[in-house]
């Protein structure tokens, strides 16, 4: 097995750049961290649990990259401000920020308790703002930089996850606002909205949900689910100079599933849209969600 990320971008794209990835120890954040490091970035991986951060940082080092784990609870503004300030003192200017950390759980809206609602809003919306503000105040206000927020396919509401739908929609609006307010400092702010992605996060859902996804994964225009690498590639593009005139926008990485209108145009099952998957250390998926599974 090759021990480096198979990226479509040139290997020195982020040489000399320091990029912070929140939620960088697992799932999509882990993939993004690997790709950025493979492209020459010094990557800082943050999250609440140190073990996955240290494991991913070690993977990156073994592949020849530079990575640092950094424990940080993005829900706590004082902790974020203190931690980000120390990161800047230790590593110099932060050139890029990927607000990937998030979390949610399945529940009908009528059954969501206040504690659960606040936890999801605190992580997905407030945490994104706290880290962005801290990075801006400590570094980007003086040196410029690029921020990419990870949101979700919530364009038609989010039945079963009203909390994350509301939070992610708020981040999309925040992305637009910050792209205007911080433009004069040389800061670009964009977002990526993944559809249903084959990542380790799938393991957090019960078997019934996994089966539902398996049975219905082909019911979108691309006739498949997305890969972590496809999300990461969009993040890399938005962090790169190639997107220098793009700010305040959200790229949908969902195979056009958010645009699907079945009554007008029925689903056609096919295998014509080949996935891109360059992540050499992608997580094992539940058996029933593997593309070649018959379950």
Q: Tell me how far apart the alpha carbons of residues 47 and 29 are, in angstroms, rounded to a whole number.
A: 10
Tell me the pLDDT band of 267, cut-offs 50, 70 and 90.
low
171 in any annotated domain? yes
Please compute, for residue 153, the number of CA atoms within 13 A of its CA located in the half-sphere on the CB side: 17
8 in any annotated domain? no
pTM of the model: 0.88
Domain holding 282, by residue range, is 18-289
Contacts of residue 41, Cβ cutoff 8 Å, sequence gap at least 6: 14, 15, 17, 18, 19, 65, 66, 96
The predicted model gives 51-62 an average pLDDT of: 97
49 in any annotated domain? yes
11 in any annotated domain? no
pLDDT in tens, 60-114: 999 999 999 999 999 999 999 999 999 999 999 999 999 999 988 889 999 999 9
Domain count, the chain: 1
Is pLDDT at 204 greater than 80 in this prediction?
no
Is pLDDT at 32 greater than 60 in this prediction?
yes
Kind and range of the H or E run holding 276: none
More confident: 257 or 61:
61
Is pLDDT at 22 greater than 90 in this prediction?
yes
pLDDT recorded at residue 73: 97
What CATH number does residue 274 fall under? 3.40.50.720
Give the whole-number percent of the chain exceeding pLDDT 90: 72
170 in any annotated domain? yes
6 in any annotated domain? no
pLDDT in tens, 139-183: 999 999 999 999 999 999 998 899 999 999 999 999 999 999 999
pLDDT recorded at residue 185: 98
4 in any annotated domain? no
Q: What is the residue whose two structure tokens read 């040389």?
A: 186
Please compute, for residue 243, the number of CA atoms within 13 A of its CA located in the half-sphere on the CB side: 24
Tell me the pLDDT band of 210, cut-offs 50, 70 and 90.
confident
């Amino acid at each position: 097995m090759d021990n480096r990320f198979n990226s479509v971008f040139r290997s020195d794209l982020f040489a000399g750049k320091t990029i912070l990835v929140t939620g960088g120890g697992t799932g999509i954040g882990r993939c993004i961290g690997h790709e950025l490091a493979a492209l020459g970035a010094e990557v800082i991986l943050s999250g609440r649990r140190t073990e996955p951060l240290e494991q991913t940082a070690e993977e990156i080092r073994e592949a020849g990259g530079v990575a640092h784990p950094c424990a940080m609870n993005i829900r706590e503004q004082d902790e974020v401000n203190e931690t980000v300030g120390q990161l800047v003192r230790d590593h110099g200017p932060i050139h890029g920020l990927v607000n990937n950390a998030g979390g949610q759980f399945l529940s009908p809206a009528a059954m969501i308790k206040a504690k659960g609602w606040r936890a999801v809003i605190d992580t997905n919306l407030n945490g994104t703002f706290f880290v962005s503000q801290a990075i801006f105040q400590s570094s980007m206000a003086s040196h410029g930089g690029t921020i990419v927020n990870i949101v979700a396919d919530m364009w038609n509401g989010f039945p079963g996850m009203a909390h994350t739908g509301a939070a992610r929609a708020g981040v999309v609006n925040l992305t637009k606002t910050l792209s205007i307010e911080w433009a004069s400092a040389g800061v670009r702010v964009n977002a990526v909205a993944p559809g249903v992605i084959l990542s380790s996060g799938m393991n957090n859902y019960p078997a019934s949900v996994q089966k539902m996804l398996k049975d219905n994964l082909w019911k979108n225009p691309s006739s498949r689910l997305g890969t972590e690498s496809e999300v990461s590639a969009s993040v890399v593009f938005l962090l790169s100079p190639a997107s220098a005139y793009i700010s305040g926008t959200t790229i949908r990485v969902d195979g056009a599933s958010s645009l699907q209108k079945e009554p007008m145009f029925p689903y056609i099952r096919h295998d014509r849209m080949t996935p891109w998957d360059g992540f050499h250390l992608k997580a094992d998926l539940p058996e029933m969600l593997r593309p070649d599974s018959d379950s």
